[in-house]
């Protein structure tokens, strides 16, 4: 890889760190005026449609018909369920706290992989990392749960714990059910399938009556379509093709930090000494799990 390609690759990685870290704030702003399922569904339909047409124009083929089942399963697990739970939960849970819960994804990935016959075993280092990471979450939410008995807040927190679990399950399934289509085209169709399902869910639950594109909500939706789905995911795939996977995965340490700081600066969310300490403990647990060789 020459110097120009290296600069582009690291610029793409930087874009992933930045833009995916800001999506939690954009989601939090968006759900203030937009219903969760319809807004997320519209985001994926528009982004998937643009992505698929662009890739087709670049000469890539659409997925084969026999691949649509697997694409649908992965899209439902990752985008409908995992992403859908984040958007739904952020109606009540601050964006920074949501990002920190989602940062536990490597713990769930390690657990699912260990459960498979051919998966990597849970080493002592991984187990220690998981214990430390979840201890950080206990530190983070203990003051919140003592002071707040808001049922909506509590159900939002519970939903957020299921989000990385569903993302891990979908990722492991995708890894063991490879498809022949180009990864970018597969992602575009996953977004389209998930988008139409989310729109149907939103209509079923009467969200159309609350769908009002006020300037603040519209700006958040456009930002998520462009920078969350198109630029963010495109940059991720480019960086993954040019840089070692372990280096690209470092974005997982940066995203929650950006989300916590932005939530504090723009929305006045909680950022005290306990939040800083809890964030450090959670990310240290993530480092231990991801650095384990076994």
Q: Using CA atoms, how far apart are residues 48 and 188, in angstroms rounded to an integer?
A: 4
Q: Using CA atoms, how far apart are residues 232 and 241, in angstroms rounded to an integer?
A: 14
**Helix axes 232-242 and 3-30, enclosed angle (nearest 10):** 150
Give me the residue spans of the domains in the chain: 3-291
> Is the per-residue pLDDT at 149 higher than 70?
no
Least confident of 119-123, 173-177, 216-220: 119-123
pLDDT given for residue 256 in this prediction = 85
> Is the per-residue pLDDT at 128 higher than 90?
no
Establish how many alpha carbons lie within 13 A of residue 31's alpha carbon, considering only the half-sphere containing its beta carbon: 21
Q: Which of 187, 171, 157 is nearest to 62 (CA)?
A: 187
> Residue 119: enclosing H or E segment and its boundaries?
none
Q: Is the Cβ–Cβ distance between 107 and 249 less than 8 Å?
A: no
Q: Using CA atoms, how far apart are residues 149 and 121, in angstroms rounded to an integer?
A: 39
Q: Give, as one character, the DSSP assignment of residue 66.
A: G
- For 233-276, the pLDDT digits (tens) are 778 777 766 776 666 767 777 888 888 899 899 988 888 888 88
Q: What is the mean pLDDT of residues 213-220?
A: 86
Q: Which of 159, 165, 192, 171 is nearest to 31 (CA)?
A: 159
pLDDT given for residue 65 in this prediction = 84
- For 155-210, the pLDDT digits (tens) are 888 899 899 888 888 877 877 776 777 788 888 898 999 999 999 999 999 888 88
> Is the per-residue pLDDT at 76 higher than 90?
yes
pLDDT given for residue 84 in this prediction = 93
Block residue for tokens 């979450």: 137
């Amino acid at each position: 890889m020459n110097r120009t390609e290296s600069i582009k690759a690291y610029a793409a990685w930087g874009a992933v760190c930045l833009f995916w870290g800001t999506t939690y704030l954009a989601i939090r702003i968006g759900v203030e005026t937009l219903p969760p399922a319809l807004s997320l569904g519209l985001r994926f339909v528009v982004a998937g449609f643009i992505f698929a047409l662009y890739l087709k124009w670049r000469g890539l083929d659409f997925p084969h018909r026999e691949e649509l089942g697997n694409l649908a399963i992965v899209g439902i697990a990752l985008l409908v369920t995992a992403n859908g739970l984040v958007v739904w939960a952020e109606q009540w849970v601050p964006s920074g706290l949501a990002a920190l819960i989602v940062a536990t994804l490597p713990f769930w990935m390690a657990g699912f992989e260990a459960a498979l016959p051919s998966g990597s075993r849970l080493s002592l280092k991984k187990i220690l990392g998981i214990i430390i990471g979840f201890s950080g979450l206990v530190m983070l939410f203990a003051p919140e749960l003592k002071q707040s008995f808001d049922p909506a807040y509590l159900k939002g927190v519970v939903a957020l714990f299921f989000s990385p679990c569903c993302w891990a399950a979908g990722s492991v399934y995708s890894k063991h059910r490879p498809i022949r289509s180009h990864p970018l085209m597969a992602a575009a169709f996953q977004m389209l399938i998930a988008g139409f399902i989310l729109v149907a869910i939103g209509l079923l639950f009467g969200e159309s009556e609350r769908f009002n594109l006020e300037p603040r909500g519209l700006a958040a939706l456009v930002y998520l379509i462009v920078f969350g789905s198109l630029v963010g995911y495109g940059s991720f795939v480019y960086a993954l093709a040019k840089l070692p996977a372990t280096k690209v995965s470092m974005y997982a340490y940066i995203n929650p930090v950006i989300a916590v700081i932005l939530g504090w600066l723009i929305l006045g969310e909680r950022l005290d000494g306990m939040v800083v300490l809890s964030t450090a403990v959670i990310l240290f647990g993530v480092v231990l799990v991801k650095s384990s060789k076994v």
